[in-house]
């Protein structure tokens, strides 16, 4: 079943039904429906990828909407629809905090989903951004990707699916406006300094985001309306606009 072509009969968006407002951009009635749609997409692409390649390599993001998606995927309704033994989980970015910290993207996914589904521990590949030498940790994560993923024609790792968010300033993953965001890099993982936060983060680079078979942006909240509008029009140079995408889901 294709969950992404269900359209509303009227100008409004009914609960449980998405509306394609632009090619590849789908709107839902509320944040809960965005999370449900994202969970359905996870299941659809997991089955497609496993059938084709024998595994499903997905990079997760942080934020409230992914947290809701994690809870749904671990629920009785969804958990049994995924062949978890063939799912390999990675992250698009991570804060420089321990995995037990409430701000850890990995920590959220672990609490809300990973400990509640039958995924092998060896299939969970977290960014160890809390290490004292975060630059070395980024190189180590590149080696994890090298051992786990196939490469595209340009030598970059190919995820089956990457989930991304969008900040109200237009940042995605840990690629922020004003930072060095470029396709002209051979690095797979970088550790940019986020000036306004005065801290480094670990993030997949733009060429890796572009190399993915599918990229899905999850955008929720009126405070992101301006960035979302620019995204839809591709009318500004923001990190979220530089990345290729398959779907954008808003609510």
Residue 25 is inside which H or E element, if any? strand 25-27
Residue 122: predicted pLDDT: 98
What is residue 80's predicted lDDT score, i.e. its pLDDT? 98
Residue 192's pLDDT is what?
82
CA distance readout (Å), 232 to 20, 35, 73, 95: 12, 20, 28, 28
Residue-wise over 158-191: b if at least 16 C-beta within 10 A, else e?
A: bbbbbbbbbbeebbbbbbbbebebeeeeeebbbb
Block means of pLDDT (10 residues each) for the chain, 251 residues, are 32 58 72 90 97 98 89 97 98 94 96 98 98 97 97 95 76 58 75 78 90 86 55 44 47 51
Token readout for 189 is: 């993982």
Give the angle subtended at the CA of 149 by the CAs of 24 and 239, to the nearest 5°. 45
What confidence score (pLDDT) does residue 30 get?
83
Say if CB 249 and CB 65 are below 8 A apart. Answer: no
Q: How far out from the chain centre does Cα 231 lie?
A: 16
What's this model's pTM, rounded to 2 decimal places?
A: 0.83
Q: Is 233 left (phi over 0), alpha (psi -120 to 50) or beta?
A: alpha
Angle of helix 105-112 versus helix 64-73 axis, rounded to 10: 30
For residues 61 and 164, the answer to whether their CB atoms sit within 8 Å is yes
């Amino acid at each position: 079943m294709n969950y992404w072509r269900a359209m509303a009969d009227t100008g409004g968006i009914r609960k449980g039904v998405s509306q394609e407002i632009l090619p590849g951009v789908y709107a839902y009635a509320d944040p809960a429906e965005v999370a449900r749609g994202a969970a359905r997409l996870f299941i659809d692409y997991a089955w497609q990828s496993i059938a084709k390649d024998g595994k499903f390599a997905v990079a997760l993001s942080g934020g409230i909407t992914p947290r809701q998606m994690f809870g749904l995927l671990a629920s009785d309704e969804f958990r049994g629809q995924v062949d978890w033994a063939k799912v390999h989980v990675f992250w698009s970015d991570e804060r420089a905090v321990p995995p037990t910290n409430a701000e850890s993207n990995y920590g959220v996914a672990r609490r809300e989903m990973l400990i509640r589904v039958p995924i092998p521990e060896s299939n969970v590949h977290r960014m160890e951004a809390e290490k004292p030498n975060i630059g070395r940790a980024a190189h180590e994560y590149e080696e994890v990707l090298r051992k786990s993923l196939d490469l595209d024609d340009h030598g970059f790792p190919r995820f089956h699916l990457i989930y991304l968010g969008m900040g109200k300033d237009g940042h995605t993953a840990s690629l922020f406006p004003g930072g060095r965001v470029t396709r002209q890099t051979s690095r797979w993982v970088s550790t940019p300094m986020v000036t306004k936060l005065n801290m480094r983060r670990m993030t997949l680079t733009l060429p890796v985001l572009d190399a993915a078979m599918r990229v899905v942006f999850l955008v929720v909240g009126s405070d992101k309306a301006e960035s979302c509008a620019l995204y839809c029009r591709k009318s500004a140079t923001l990190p979220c606009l530089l990345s290729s995408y398959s779907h954008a889901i808003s609510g």
